[in-house]
Amino acid sequence: MLLAIDVGNSNTNIGVSNKNSYLFIARITTDSIQTEDQLAVELSSIFRLYGMEISDVSGAIVSSVVPPLTPIIRKSIKMLIGRPPLLVGPGIKTGLNILIDNPGELGADLVAGAVAAGAMFPKPCIIFDFGTASKATVLDKSGNCLGGSIAPGMAISLEALSQRAAQLPHINLEDTSVVIGTNTVDCMKSGTVLGTASMIDGMAERIEGELGEKATLVATGGLHELVIPHCKRDVISKPTLILDGLRIIYERNKK
């Protein structure tokens, strides 16, 4: 079994797979002040919840965009399976040609997502990842990573809006089909959900203008399923994209 963990700013996704099939996928809140013992207990509990033993894991790989937590999770996994996990970062073989100004700046999650998209979908390809930030990563027709864009995520945008505008309430991030809101809550939902869907359509068009050709659109991240039904463009939903990329990278580095 392979244990793949994607540590994000808000949530940590955990995938356990056997060959190309997931045995389970779990999500926990990212806690950057956890100790290695606390995290080890939490991981062990999750395995027991799904009726499995973490001792059966034969290998592990981690992508992390939370530097303080990276050594903690590495120690925790070593405690549990007897060997440290692979870490997506400098020195690891990804097969991805990164053409941005400083390749080391590309987040490990974006690397994993780009690797999976490059292996699974027609290129050129635009990967939209909706989490704490709303990110787009662009692959050209040869699979090279050209760069992308970063915008505030939907949840933190709503939070900032309610904090900075005295008359706007805190609301839950929910689906909506109302474009022209007739009350404050519906207006905020429209601007957040439908506005983000419009951003996907608009950014895809602008990116394709620079590429000079149409691209495959792929979406992932905790909030993407709320948005893509409202897009005018066809967008492929792939919730496991980053975990799939981690599995591919692990296989490319397995001795």
Q: Work out the percent of the chain whose per-residue pLDDT is above 70.
A: 100
- Distance, CA of 80 to CA of 86 (rounded, Å): 14
**How would you list the strands of the sheet with 125-130, edge to edge?**
145-152, 133-139, 125-130, 216-220, 236-237
Q: Compare 91 and 100 and report the one with higher pLDDT.
A: 100
pLDDT at 54 exceeding the cut of 70: yes
CA dihedral in degrees (56, 64, 153, 24; nearest 10)? -10
SS3 state at 34: coil
- Give the model's pLDDT for residue 186: 92
For 121-163, what is each residue's pLDDT tens digit?
999 999 999 988 999 999 999 999 999 999 999 989 988 988 8
Q: Compare 222 and 110 and report the one with higher pLDDT.
A: 110
All domains of the chain in start order, with CATH: 2-87 (3.30.420.40), 103-245 (3.30.420.40)
Residue 255: pLDDT band with limits 50, 70, 90: low
- Give the model's pLDDT for residue 85: 95
Nearest Cα to Cα of residue 8 among 151, 150, 109: 109
Q: Work out the percent of the chain whose per-residue pLDDT is above 90.
A: 80
Task: Write down the pTM of the prediction.
Answer: 0.92
CB atoms < 10 A from the CB of 210, how many?
A: 8
pLDDT at 39 exceeding the cut of 90: yes
In SS3 terms, 90-115 reads as CCCCCCCCECCCCHHHCCHHHHHHHH
CB atoms < 10 A from the CB of 32, how many?
A: 12
For 4-25, what is each residue's pLDDT tens digit?
999 999 899 999 999 879 999 9
- Distance, CA of 67 to CA of 8 (rounded, Å): 10
Instruction: Write b or e for each residue in 221-231: b if 16 or more Cβ atoms lie within 10 A of its Cβ, otherwise e.
Output: bbbbebbbebb
CB contact at 8 A, 226 and 189: no
Catalytic residues: 109
CB atoms < 10 A from the CB of 28, how many?
A: 17
Nearest Cα to Cα of residue 12 among 53, 69, 54, 58: 69
Q: Compare 199 and 176 and report the one with higher pLDDT.
A: 199
- Cα–Cα–Cα angle for 96, 97, 102, rounded to 5 degrees: 115
